[in-house]
Structure 1
Amino acid sequence: MITMKDIILEGHPVLEQVANEVMLPPNKEDKETLENMLQFLKNSQDEEIAEKYNLRAGVGLAAPQLGISKRMFAVHFEDLQGNTYSDGYFNPKIISHSVEKTFLANGEGCLSVNREVPGYVSRYARVTISATNLAGQQVKLRLRGYAAVVFQHELDHLNGIMFYDHIDKQDPFLIPENAKPCDLQGDK
Structure 2
Amino acid sequence: MLMMDDIIRDGHPTLRKTAVDVAMPPSEEDRKILESLLEYVKNSQNPEVSSQYGLRPGIGLAAPQINVSKRMIAIHLHDDKGNLYSYALYNPKIVSHSVEKAYLVSGEGCLSVDDDIPGYVGRFARITVKGITLEGEEVKLRLKGLPAICFQHEIDHLNGIMFYDHINKQDPFKPIEGAIAIER
Query: If the TM-score is normalised by the length of the shorter chain, which range does it land in?
Result: over 0.9
Q: 2:107 aligned with 1:83, yes or no?
A: no
Residue of structure 1 in register with 2:2 after alignment: 2
Residue of structure 2 in register with 1:141 after alignment: 141
What amino acid maps onto 2:148 in structure 1? Answer: A
Stretch of structure 1 that moved more, 165-174 or 80-89 = 80-89
Residue of structure 1 in register with 2:120 after alignment: 120
Q: Which runs of 5+ in 1 are unaligned?
A: none
Q: Which runs of 5+ in 2 are unaligned?
A: none
Q: How far has the Cα of 1:87 moved from its partner?
A: 1.9
What amino acid maps onto 1:121 in structure 2? Answer: V
Q: How far has the Cα of 1:67 moved from its partner?
A: 0.4
CA–CA separation in structure 2 for the residues paired with 1:64 and 1:134:
18
CA–CA separation in structure 1 for the residues paired with 2:140 and 2:117:
32
Structure 1: 4+ residue segments shifted above 2 A: none
CA RMSD, 1 decimal: 0.6
CA–CA separation in structure 1 for the residues paired with 2:135 and 2:77:
18
Residue of structure 1 in register with 2:161 after alignment: 161
TM-score by length of 2: 0.98
Residue of structure 2 in register with 1:152 after alignment: 152
CA–CA separation in structure 2 for the residues paired with 1:175 and 1:145:
17
SS at the partner of 1:36? Answer: helix
Residue of structure 2 in register with 1:20 after alignment: 20
CA–CA separation in structure 1 for the residues paired with 2:148 and 2:86:
14
Task: Output one character per residue of 1:45-89: Cα deviation in whole Å (capped at 9) or x when no partner.
Answer: 111110110000000000000000000000111111121111200
Residue of structure 2 in register with 1:109 after alignment: 109
